[in-house]
Amino acid sequence: MQSPIRVRRIRMTSAATEEDVVPTQQPEAHPLLRLPLEHLPWSLVPSRNKYAHRPRLRQGSAGGVLDGILFLFGGFEDTGHRSNNLVQYDMRTHTWSDVDVY
């Protein structure tokens, strides 16, 4: 199933002929946006009681993954206050920890 793609009609005119050019075909889905789940490895996720430390809920944070570790910085905590702390989640051991930044 292809993902829905919005097609915008664009009016373009050439200086020589002044004719309208309208795209007639829908653009093809980009191959990098497809994720076939049947070919991915699946593993059992540990129960919630294994997570000894979890950061507060937050939104609007910045994050990235490096060597199997997810880093989250900043954002707004569930209390509505801004956060400037950095936490990391190790995807191999399923553990959260605070990162000291100096």
Predicted local distance difference test score (pLDDT) of residue 53: 72
Does any domain span residue 26? no
Q: Are 94 and 46 in contact (CB under 8 A)?
A: yes
Does any domain span residue 95? yes
Does any domain span residue 76? yes
Please state, in angstroms and rounded to a whole number, the distance separating the CA atoms of residues 76 and 95.
22
Return the half-sphere exposure (C-beta side, CA atoms, 13 A cut-off) of residue 19.
4
Structural domain of 88: 54-102
Does any domain span residue 94? yes
Vertex 30 angle, CA 36 and 14, to 5°: 165
Does any domain span residue 18? no
Does any domain span residue 47? no
- How far lies 12's CA from each of 22, 23, 26, 91, in Å? 8, 10, 17, 50
Does any domain span residue 70? yes
Predicted local distance difference test score (pLDDT) of residue 12: 53
Segments of the chain with pLDDT less than 70: 1-32, 45-52
Q: Could you give the number of structural domains in the chain?
A: 1
pTM score, whole prediction: 0.49
Does any domain span residue 37? no
